[in-house]
Amino acid sequence: AQKVTQAQTEISVVEKEDVTLDCVYETRDTTYYLFWYKQPPSGELVFLIRRNSFDEQNEISGRYSWNFQKSTSSFNFTITASQVVDSAVYFCALSEAKGNTGKLIFGQGTTLQVKP
């Protein structure tokens, strides 16, 4: 069965602190895709990253970085030097290649609050 677990329900940090959002997934498929989305108060899900199961290289984009480890089925997201504008709900999601449906299985989300 497919499942995505984001164990951290809420995280609160002070501006400029680094913060890591955890994501653990379960799948029986050998080919799959992992995503991170940001949902600000406006409600629209904003795409952050897509990673396929064959690419375990870590990725950095500005203050954002992602650590993909197949051995532990984890795809963690780190924000360096957090800012108030980073406050949002962050979702990790999984999409299996089998069946080619492209449907996303989301975790429950982590609410990040960055205080000034």
Partner 1 sequence: DTGVSQNPRHKITKRGQNVTFRCDPISEHNRLYWYRQTLGQGPEFLTYFQNEAQLEKSRLLSDRFSAERPKGSFSTLEIQRTEQGDSAMYLCASSLAAQGHPGGYTFGSGTRLTVV
Closer residue to partner 1 (CB): 9 or 116: 9
Residues 51-70 that bind partner 1 (CB under 8 A): 52
34, 59 in Cβ contact below 8 A? no
Query: Does 43 interact with partner 1 (rule: CB under 8 A)?
Result: yes
Please, which residue, 15 or 74, has the CB nearer to partner 1? 74
- Binding to partner 1 (CB under 8 A) within 15-34 occurs at 33
Looking at the chain, which runs of residues are DSSP E strands?
3-5, 10-14, 19-21, 24-26, 32-39, 46-52, 59-61, 64-69, 74-79, 88-96, 105-106, 110-115
Beta carbon of residue 19, minimum distance to partner 1 (angstroms, whole number): 19
Q: How many residues bind partner 1 (CB under 8 A)?
A: 28
In whole angstroms, the minimum distance from the beta carbon of 52 to partner 1 comes to: 8
